Amino acid sequence: MTNTAKQGIITAPSPRYLCLLLLFVLAAVGLNYTRLPLFFSVEFIFGSAIAVLALLVLGRTAAIVVGCAAAAVTLFIWGHPYAWLVFTAEIIWLSWRWRPENGLNLVKLDLLFWLCAGLPAVSLFYAYGLDVKWQTAVLIALKQMTNGVFNTLLASLLILVLQSQHWADRFLVLPLISLRQLLFHILIALTLFVGCTPLLMDARKLQAEYTFNVEQRLQWLADTLHKQLQKHASLQQLTTTEVTGLLEQALPEESISVLVLDNNGRVLNSSGLITSLNNVVNSMPEPGFSHWQPEGVSPLLQRWGQSRFVLVQHPVTLEGVGAIVIEFSAREVMSKLEQDSARHLTLLVAFLLLVTLVANWLSRVISLPLHRLALASERLKSSIAAGADTDIPTSKVEEYHTLGQNLQAMSRELAAAFTIGKANETELVRKVNEQTKQLQQANSQLEAILAAASDFSIIATNKDGIISYFSRGAEKLLGYSAAELVDKQSPAILHVADEVMQRSQELTVQLKQPVAGFRAFVVLAEQQGTDTRQWQYVRKDGSCLPVSLTVTPILSESGTVTGYLGVAKDISERHRNEKLKNEFISTVSHELRTPLTSLYAALKMANSGRLGELPGKVASLLQLAENNSKRLGRLINDLLDIEKLTAGKFQLSLEVQPLQPLVIQAIDEISSYAAQYKVTLQTDFATEPLFARIDAGRFVQVVTNLLSNAIKFSPADAIVKVKMYADAAFARLEVSDLGQGIADDFKERIFEKFAQNDAASTRQQGGTGLGLAISKELTEKMAGNIGFVSEPGQGATFWLSFNLCVSPVQQPVNVVTNATGSPENQCSHQ
Amino acid sequence: MTLQRVMHVEDDESIRAVAEIALTDVAGFTLLSCDSGQSALAQAEAFAPQLILLDVMMPQMDGLQTMAALLQLPSLKNTPVVFMTAKIQQSEKQRYLDVGAIGIIEKPFEPMELGDTLSELYQQHITS
């Protein structure tokens, strides 16, 4: 049938299987009782078709059971076991030999059985077992062979129909149809059905013809007898012997019997044996021609052998004669019919064999090229994969040839493409391996770096805030192991809940959107790229740890946030240092200033003259002491200032205000100092007021420092010029002196702490070496710039530059600078 | 009303001595000098100062605690207080002002101007 089906489509023994088996048995038995007459004495039964169907649907065992049960019917209908034996052997053969996966054809297998075993066996059984003539035995064998092959063909066709229907798949698991088998069965079926029809019609026609001939003959005989009897006016005048002689004269054949009845149906005379009426007639038989067969006689041939053709005539011209009955033995006709059946059956068998051969050949011829193409297509995959050509068979049939050519071309293209693809794949694999290796090296390096950064806590999360990486540094700082937290917890458990809540509230107000929980750590980082803030981490043992936490989002190539990275540094040491520094500043401030307070106050009051006149030298000495106490005070202030500046604890009160008055204030404060050095201060201010956002006191401090330096380094009677003007968007102040200028090798260090041109000069000129460093810090904290221009021997010009503001109406801003921030100094205009 | 009677609380003897000269000889005030918060509490009501000059950093009872205690005394609850301190940051200055001080004088102070400074602060206080 096909070469892909499994033996037995429904597996045994389920209730469904048993039900179907019973159904098949009943059907087979029933169909064996049903007979289809083909020719005279040739009738087909169909039980074996059901047995073959059972083989295909239920499997071997079921087929044998069904076949055996169906064949058993022949025991009853034919009265001998030979047919049962042969039919059972037939189904056993088919069950044993048929393998759908081998593509064996059931019809051919069945034909093989009948030609090799069935025909000889039936012939022998009938000839020797039933004492039938050889010719008859062979005919019976041919008939059974034809019947068997026909049934197998019928079953195969039915299965083909089911295989072609999709709805059948719901009930049965049917394999695919083989084109060759399909062609074979269709060809053989069509040819048989078409070719057998003339044979059947011919047989029917001949039988009718023979019957008609017999009827004509009997009619002629009846007329002849009628004429003979008419010659004698009354039969009653003749003796019985004379009437018999007349009858015999009219009907010379022994196979013909005649009966003459009177008007009441009583026998007047007879010749020969009339069996159809059993020689006892009590009623007038109906006129007409019929074929009488004896009841209760079987088989067909025996019944036909005893049958009679009967003609009943009611002569109207013979006085005293009611009916003439003529009987003719059917043996002659039967003999002819038997000869015809034999001939037809022989023709049928020959036709069957021929058709089988032709269908087999034709189906092979038509399907073989396609089958070869199908086989070649199975090799395509491996050929393409190997980059080799596939051998596609050619054909003389145009369609197959075109298909083959196209397949060949396609396989070449695919093979070439596959070869290129393989090469690319190899290269790709190599590159991937190389990059994987590099990645692994980078990962190892990263792991090493992260492991080395044991003083930092590095925690990564996924975008939902669940920890995905917990560095060794984090383990060390916090006391948790990575296994406890990775993929399990959010970093929120490492924080103080109140702190997180407070920060969430601040951000909610600031960003005008609800911020809570994990979002408090990441929302600013998402907006700004990074966010650094001090937090309190909570260790596993519950203790707190101040950290500086920097959060950055981890972005994919497309810029989507895929996670967050938090790097935290323990700042408890820094806090301690800051506290110490603050305490130091506070302590130094207090401890140095306290004795200086009384020292300076005492000297000041003593030198003021309010408490009495001092002798000249005492006054000089006390004045000297007062000056140095002032100097000491300045030094302490400078030291504390620079310490606060570098510690980032300097507070500025920034306010937009006019600069000229402040410069004048500084000049006033330094005027006595200038007089002391016999230096004149000359001003050149812009007429319009110049506004900038500054801390007034500290601005004065810076300007005073610049003036002090200029005075200090000017020769006696020199002029120090103070110029103030607007320079584009800036307010610019310049303090110029005519001193010795700044040496080239000192220029780079001039704003450093304790930077002095030379120590001797410092002692001569006074000063702490911190003035310019403090001035620079203060200027830059007020978002200004400071610089100088000087050539050795040509004096120096120090300048300050601040962003010009337009309006002085501005609220003061207290700015506490710290190490990580810078003050805002953009002028805002109202 | 001009400032006449000033109470000075300072634990450092030297500063007390120079402040005394500055406030009496130079400024002409009537002065009560105390060396501690406790001493000031004991003598303040009897002296009835118009203004209290308080050092911030003192042992046992610092300037803020002394101020709080002095202002608890019924006769002194409206007496203005000026702090004197060597530690002065803007935040500290604001803190002292927030607790009710009318001014802050940094150390080292100008002895010749101390009296004028206190008078000025006193006048601003009584006129506000």
Q: How many CB atoms lie within 10 A of CB A199?
A: 17
Of A590, A595, A610, the CB nearest to B26: A610
Instruction: Choose, out of A584, A586, A591, A593, the residue to mutate when testing the contact with B (most B CBs < 10 Å).
Output: A593
Check B111 against A604: CB less than 8 A apart: yes
Considering A169-173, A590-594, A619-623, B91-95, the range whose residues carry the highest mean pLDDT is A619-623
Is-contact A691 A805, C-beta < 8 A? yes
Taking an 8 Å cut-off on Cβ atoms, the answer to whether B112 and A590 are in contact is no
Interhelix angle for A134-164 vs A331-386, to 10°?
A: 40
Q: Say whether pLDDT at A790 is over 80.
A: yes
Residue of A90, A14, A16 whose CA lies nearest to A49: A90
- Least CB-CB distance to B87: which of A586, A629, A649? A586
Asked if the domains A15-177 and A453-570 are classified in one and the same CATH topology, the answer is no
User: Across chain A, what does the average pLDDT equal?
Assistant: 84
Q: How far A602 CA sits from the closest chain B CA (Å)?
A: 6
Q: Is A586 on the interface with B (CB under 8 A)?
A: yes
Does A232 have pLDDT greater than 80?
no
CB spacing of B25 vs A605 below 8 angstroms = yes
Backbone φ and ψ of B49, nearest 5°: -75, 155
Contact B18 A590 (CB under 8 A): no
Q: A38-52, A410-424, A497-511 — which one is most confidently predicted on average?
A: A497-511
Residue to test with chain B: of A581, A583, A584, A598, most B Cβ within 10 A: A598
**Under DSSP, is residue B62 helix (H, G, I), strand (E, B) or coil?**
coil
Q: How far is B109 from chain A (nearest CA, A)?
A: 6
What mean pLDDT is predicted for residues A641-668? Answer: 84
pLDDT at A254 over 70: no
What residue type is assigned to position A101 of the chain? E
CATH class of A650-816: alpha beta
B14 contacts in chain A (CB < 8 Å): 595, 597-599, 602
Residue found under tokens 């002629």? A220
Domain segments of chain A as ranges = 15-177, 453-570, 571-646, 650-816
Q: Would you call A589 and B86 a contact, using CB atoms and an 8 Å cutoff?
A: yes
| Confidence check: pLDDT of A193 > 90 | no
Average pLDDT over residues A66-78: 88
* Beta pairing, strands B103-106 & B81-85: parallel
Task: Answer whether residue A817 shows pLDDT above 70.
Answer: no
CATH number for the domain running over A453-570: 3.30.450.20
A-chain residues within 8 Å CB-CB of B105? none
Q: Which pLDDT does position A819 carry in this prediction?
A: 39
Q: Quick one: how far is CA A669 from the chain centroid? A: 85
Report the pLDDT value the prediction gives residue A815, as an integer from 0 to 100: 47
| Residue of A807 and A145 predicted with greater confidence | A145
Q: What is the mean pLDDT of residues A153-160?
A: 89
Residues of B in contact with A611 (CB under 8 A): 21, 25
User: Which residue of B14, B88, B112 is in closest CB contact with A608?
Assistant: B112
Query: For the ranges A239-243, A252-256, A762-766, which has the lowest average pLDDT?
Result: A762-766
A697 interface with B at CB cutoff 8 Å: no
Residue of B nearest to A584 (CA): B87
Answer whether residue A684 shows pLDDT above 60: yes
Q: Roughly what angle, to the nearest 10 degrees, separates helices A616-647 and A771-781?
A: 40
Is residue A165 less than 8 Å (CB to CB) from chain B?
no
Given a cut of 60, whether residue A728 has pLDDT beyond it is yes
Taking the CA of residue B6 and the nearest CA in chain A, the distance in Å comes to: 18
**Is domain A15-177 in CATH 1.10.260.40, yes or no?**
no
Residue A194 pLDDT: 84
Q: Minimal Cα distance from B27: which residue of A? A: A610
Alpha helix ranges (H) inside A387-462: 398-452
Contact B18 A649 (CB under 8 A): no
- Nearest alpha carbon to residue A651 among A705, A692, A695: A695
Q: Which residue has the tokens 């803007």?
A: B90
pLDDT 10s digits, A604-642: 999 998 888 888 888 888 888 988 888 888 888 888 887
Write down the domain spans for chain B.
5-127
Q: Give the pLDDT score at A130.
A: 84
- Cβ of B15 and A600 within 8 Å? no
Q: Which residues of B touch A816 (CB under 8 A)?
A: 91
For tokens 């049960």, what's the residue?
A69
Q: Write out chain A residues lying below 8 Å of B90, CB-based.
A: 651, 653, 814
Mapping DSSP to helix (H, G, I), strand (E, B) and coil, where does residue A681 land? strand
Closest CA to A735 of A717, A719, A757: A719
Q: With an 8 Å Cβ cutoff, is A589 touching chain B?
A: yes
pLDDT tens digits, residue range A126-140? 888 888 888 888 888
Measured between its terminal Cα atoms, the distance across chain A in Å is 99
- Strands B51-55 and B81-85, how do they pair? parallel
Could you tell me if A82 lies within 8 Å of chain B, comparing CB atoms? no
| pLDDT class of A202 with cuts at 50, 70, 90 | confident
Per-residue pLDDT at A664: 94
- The CATH-assigned architecture of domain B5-127 is 3-Layer(aba) Sandwich (3.40)
Distance from CA of A605 to the nearest CA of B (A): 7
Task: List the single residue in B with minimal CA-CA distance to A640.
Answer: B87
Mean local confidence (pLDDT), A529-533: 91
